[in-house]
Amino acid sequence: MALHRRFIPILALVSVAVLFLLYQSITVRETLRGLPQKIGLGDVTGDETRVPINDDLPPKSNGTAKHTPVNPEDKDYVNWNPKPVFKGGSPRPENHNYTTTFVVARTIDEDITWIKENIPDLNTAIYVADDPFAPLHPPKNKGHEVMIYLTYIIDHYDDLPDVSIFMHSHRYTWHNDDILDSDAVVMLKRLNRARVWREGYHNMRCSWDPGCPDWMHPGEVEEDQFRQEQSQLAKSWSELFPLDEVPSVLAQPCCAQFALSSERIRARPQASYVWYRDWLLRTPLGDFISGRIWEYVWQFVFTGSNIFCPKPHMCFCDGYGVCFGGEDKFTEWIDTRNQMRNIEGELRDWEEKGRNIEEAEAEGRTKEAEQLEKPEPGKDKKLKQAIDELRPIVEKRRNEAFERGMNDPEARAKEIGRKWKEGDGF
C-alpha cells in the first residue's frame, strides 16, 4: 500500500533523530573506553549502580570456570586487571615507629567502647555499616566488612599509614586465637608492626582451623550448607579477576581480619579497589554470600597466592611475640592443651548426666529419671585430678612462650628462620 505524502516529512524527522541517538551512543562508548581509570562508582549511594558497557568487559566462556583467553598486551584488559608486583617491605631504620590505623567494621548496635578504654592512643577509622549519617560509612550496607575495607582503601589510598589493621568490632570472639585469649585487645597490643611491614600481608588469625590447608574449591557447583559461597566462587572469580585462571583451591585462616602495609596496598592501583567495590555493589548476590566470597579472596588480592597458610608457630612467634621454641614444642603444647580440653569435656558430660537425673526427679518424672544414663560413680574425681595435673603445665609453657617472644628478639628470629644480628628488634 502506498505511503500517504503527509507522513513522509514525519518519517524523515524520525530517521534523523534515530541516527543522531546512535551517533551519541557510539561517542559515549568511545569516550568511556578512553578513560580506563574512571571505572568506579565513586560516591554512589543507595541502590544506584553503573552497569559496565558490555563491550568493555573481558569475554567470558559459557558456563565454564575458565574464561576466554585474551591478549595480555591489550591495554583495555590490563587496565581492568593490572598485574601487581608483590615484594618485601622496603628497609626501615631500627626502632622505627610504624604509624597505624585500626579500621573497624561495625553496626550501630555493636559496642566499641573497649577500644578507647584499652587502647586510647590507637588511631582508628570506625565505619558504621548501617548508618548513612555516621562520619564514616560505606556507600551501601552490603557484603559485610568487605564494603568497609574497600571503602577505607579507596578513601585513603594516597594518605595511608605504614600499617592498616582491618578487624570486626567484637573484642572477644571465637575466631580470635585462643592462645591470645580470643581478645582483640591482646592481638592489637602485641601485633608486630615490623612483621606486617616486612611481609606486607598478615592474617590476624594464626590457627589453621578453619581455612587451611585446603578449604574452598571453586570448581564445585553443588550446594554445600557449610560453605554456601563455594558454588558461586568460580563465576565471581572470573568477574573479579578476568585475566586469572580460576584456582582449584582457595585457602587461608578464616575470618576476614588482617593487617596490611601501605606498600602492599599500593602494589595494586586504586582503580582495582574501585573495580572490586563496583562488583560488590552491582552483583545480584546477596549481602551474606557476597561478603563470604571475599573471605578466601583477600589473600590473592594482597599476595597473588590462592593458598596462604603460614605455619602457626611462626605466625604466633613473629606476629605476636608468642614463641614456644620451635614447631615441635608448639605442637607438643597444642597436644597437651587438647588433651586437657578433652578431659574437661568428659567432666562436663558427667556433670550433665547428673543434672538431668536431678531435674527429672525434682519434677516428678520418676520413670524417666530411672531410664536416664547414670554418671559413673567416682569418675568426676579422676577427671578433675587429671585436669589439675595438666593445667599448670599448659599455663606454664604458654607463659614462657609469651616471655620468650616479648623479651628475646634473637629467639623470635631463630624460630622463623630469619637472620638476626645484635640490635635487631622484631
Q: Average the pLDDT over 237-245 and give the result.
A: 92
CA dist., res. 403 & res. 387, Å (int): 24
What are the tens digits of pLDDT across the range 261-313? 999 999 999 999 999 999 999 999 998 889 999 999 999 999 999 999 999 99
For residue 390, tell me if it sits in a domain: yes
Residues 383 and 250 in one domain: no
Residues 159 and 123 in one domain: yes
For residue 279, tell me if it sits in a domain: yes
Cα 131 → chain centroid: 22
Residues 230 and 279 in one domain: yes
What are the tens digits of pLDDT across the range 21-49? 444 444 433 433 333 333 333 333 333 33
What are the tens digits of pLDDT across the range 337-359? 999 999 999 999 999 999 998 99
Residues 336 and 244 in one domain: no
* Whole-prediction pTM: 0.79
**pLDDT value for 226:** 65
Residues 138 and 271 in one domain: yes
Which residue in 185, 189, 180, 150 sits closest to 169, CA to CA?
185
Residues 209 and 150 in one domain: yes
Q: Average the pLDDT over 11-20 and give the result.
A: 52
What type of residue is 318? D
Domain-ending residue, one of 251, 282, 310? 310
Cα 400 → chain centroid: 31
In the predicted model, is pLDDT for residue 188 greater than 50?
yes
The parent domain of residue 178 ranges over 100-310
Residues 284 and 371 in one domain: no
Residue 420 binned pLDDT confidence (cut-offs 50, 70, 90): confident
Residues 269 and 219 in one domain: yes
The cell numbers describing 301, all together, are 588480592
Q: Are 180 and 187 in contact (CB under 8 A)?
A: yes
Residues 152 and 281 in one domain: yes
What are the tens digits of pLDDT across the range 215-228? 899 877 677 666 66
What are the tens digits of pLDDT across the range 310-319? 999 999 999 9
Residues 246 and 136 in one domain: yes
Identify whether 161 is preceded by a cis peptide bond (ω within 30 of 0): no
Residues 137 and 242 in one domain: yes
Residues 306 and 355 in one domain: no
Query: Per the structure, how many domains does the chain have?
Result: 2
